[in-house]
Amino acid sequence: MKPDLIIARYGEVGLKSNRVRRRFENRLINNIKASIDAEVKVYQARIFIFPKDFDDAIEKLERIFGIVSYSPAVSTKSTFEDVERDLATYAEKLHDEGLLDENTRFAISCRRVGTHEFSSQEMAAFAGAVIVKKYSSPVDLTNPELTIYLEVRDNDAYIFHEKIEGPGGLPLGTQGKVISLVSSGIDSPVATYLMMKRGCQVIALYCDNQPYTTPDALKNYEDLIDQLNFYASGAPIKKRVVKYGDYLSTCKSEAPDKMTCVLCKSGMYKIAGMLAKKLHAEAVIDGSSLGQVASQTLPNILATREDLDVPVLSPLIGLDKVEITRIAEKIGTFEISKRDDGGCKAVPKYPETKADLELVKEIKEAINQEEQLKKAFETIEH
């Protein structure tokens, strides 16, 4: 017996007020439909998906934010006769797949919604007896090798045995737009992914540092965004590239060499903030992890962000490289990020790690940072 639908579940969406929950549910339905050719409906905190291509749907649901878990299921009616018939057929399928035989310790988990002449426990006991009668399998409610789930909803019932983990989080697009500063490295794509998981629609901004970086770095950025777009159903990431090399050259020639990284990061934040205002985004995202590199010490974080008028969110701030790399491997960006793109040749031998805020302000004024960044902003490519 092949499944005829997929039942998906959300998590924290269910904790919202009725009005907000409906809005989030509608967004989640739209995101599912944007990726999967299917009929989709929501009923009592469950999402019922009827896809035309099951294999395609199973693969794509793993990447749709807001879904906590999902299960390929067989539908039947909630009468004892229908449950007995279709559960027995379902058990045969499990037996053919090597998942159920006379030695398999199993349990029935029944969840019931609506008014019925039986309790959840009574239906579970009845369903368990169907399996025992067919295969003499031992019941083990404490440590089963196989759990068969039975959801009874009014006149309908659904049988399944898998709960496939989804990415969780909030539906993409429910939390507004953000500008994400994305490089070709490991951290910023992970930061972008985590904010997408929190429901943010992303505009990815790449600062092209040529001639201090190579075209390979830009290519890696393009590939990273393409990979992240696998998780962007319903709200694809928009790419933006700014030519940043002239501003960086000014920093190198007109400011103390050790201040290059501070001035570089400061300028990136400012341009991202300018783009946020233009595109009506509400925050800037970066991949900062406290103390990981020179520009990410607390004094330098203050010095690079002190004059911004949009919030900067750094979801990786408390994670170490091992934790960040683990996420990158999971979402498929690590192999792209670790390609050798030559690095940035503008980095000084001894970068400043404890920038003096007043000195940074003086240097920014001396190099006429505001005008330099305006010129760079005009080069942004769509």
Amino acid 301: pLDDT? 94
- Residue 228 is predicted with a pLDDT of 98
Q: How many residues does the chain have?
A: 382
In whole numbers, what is the pLDDT of the chain averaged over residues?
A: 95
Query: Has residue 382 got a pLDDT over 80?
Result: no
Residue 117: pLDDT above 80? Answer: yes
Instruction: Tell whether the model's pLDDT for residue 1 goes beyond 80.
Output: no
Q: Do residues 226 and 182 make contact, with C-beta atoms less than 8 angstroms apart?
A: no
Give the closest residue to 190 by CA, choosing from 336, 32, 367: 336
- Sheet containing 177-181: order of strands: 238-243, 201-208, 177-181, 284-285, 312-313
Give the three-state DSSP class for 340: coil
What pLDDT is recorded for position 43? 86
Per-residue pLDDT tens over the stretch 282-324 = 999 999 999 888 778 999 999 999 889 999 999 999 999 999 9
Dihedral sign for Cα 138, 143, 145, 146, please: positive
Q: Are 379 and 243 in contact (CB under 8 A)?
A: yes
DSSP SS3 for 305? helix
**Topology (CATH level 3) of domain 177-377:** Rossmann fold (3.40.50)
pLDDT band at 164 (very low <50, low <70, confident <90, very high): very high
Structure confidence by residue, pLDDT tens digits, 337-349: 999 999 999 999 8
Pairing of strands 284-285, 312-313: parallel
Residue 327: pLDDT band (50, 70, 90) is very high
Query: For the segment 176-203, what is each residue's pLDDT rounded down to a tens digit?
Result: 999 999 999 999 999 999 999 999 999 9
Residue-level pLDDT at 252: 93
The share of the chain scoring above pLDDT 90, in percent, equals 93
Contact 1, 90 (CB under 8 A): yes
Q: Reply yes or no on whether the pLDDT at 123 is more than 90.
A: yes
> How do the domains of the chain map onto residue ranges?
5-165, 177-377
pLDDT, position 174? 96
> Can you give the pLDDT at residue 15?
85
| 3-class state of residue 75 by DSSP | strand
Question: Buried b vs exposed e over 297-320: b needs ≥16 C-beta within 10 Å?
Answer: beebbebbbeeeebebbbbbbebe
- Does the domain at 5-165 match CATH 3.30.70.270? Answer given as no
CB 199 within 8 A of CB 169: yes
Give the whole-angstrom CA distance, residue 248 versus residue 264.
6
Which region among 223-237, 249-263, 285-299 has the lowest average model confidence (pLDDT)? 285-299
| Confidence (pLDDT) at 326 | 97
Residues facing 227 on adjacent strands: none
What string of DSSP letters covers 109-126? EEEEES--SS-HHHHHHH
**What is the band of 2 on the pLDDT scale with cuts at 50, 70, 90?**
confident
Cα–Cα distance, 143 to 129 (Å, whole number): 18
Q: How do residues 3-41 score in pLDDT, each as one tens digit?
A: 999 999 999 988 889 899 999 999 999 999 999 999 999
Residue 251 — very low, low, confident or very high, per pLDDT cuts 50/70/90?
very high
Q: Tell me phi and psi for residue 335, to 5 degrees.
A: -60, -30
pLDDT at 32: 97
Residue 44 has a pLDDT of: 82
